[in-house]
């Protein structure tokens, strides 16, 4: 597979690569160049949906009013 570098230094990844990596417009890749000159690219996946998978389920759901009140309490405690 070949990608072409534009005059602005940009590379267009072939559609098959984007599908394989499950990436699209605006997504980011972590690029690494190895000591032997190989280029490795990994999708950066640190969006909120990945964080939700790490957290335990909530004991109960809060209403927007309860969340706002908790935020106000937290802000009022800060120096």
- The per-residue pLDDT string of the chain (79 residues; one tens digit each, 9 = 90 and over) reads 888 899 999 998 999 999 998 888 888 899 999 999 999 988 987 667 666 667 788 888 889 999 999 999 887 776 6
The answer to whether the CB of 28 falls within 8 A of the CB of 37 is no
41: helix, coil or strand? strand
- pTM to 2 decimal places: 0.50
Question: Two tokens at 57?
Answer: 């389920």
- How many distinct structural domains can be found in the chain? 1
The answer to whether the CB of 9 falls within 8 A of the CB of 21 is no
| Number of C-beta neighbours around residue 60 at 10 A | 6
Would residue 10 count as lying in a domain? no
Distance separating alpha carbons of residues 30 and 45, to the nearest angstrom: 10
The answer to whether the CB of 30 falls within 8 A of the CB of 42 is yes
Would residue 7 count as lying in a domain? no
Domain that holds residue 45: 28-77
């Amino acid at each position: 597979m070949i990608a072409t570098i534009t005059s602005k230094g940009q590379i267009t990844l072939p559609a098959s690569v984007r599908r394989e990596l499950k990436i699209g417009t605006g997504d980011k890749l972590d690029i690494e160049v190895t000591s032997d000159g190989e280029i490795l690219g990994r999708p950066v996946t640190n969006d909120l949906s990945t964080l939700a998978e790490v957290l335990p389920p909530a004991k109960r759901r809060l209403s927007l009013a309860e969340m706002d009140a908790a935020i106000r309490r937290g802000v009022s405690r800060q120096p």
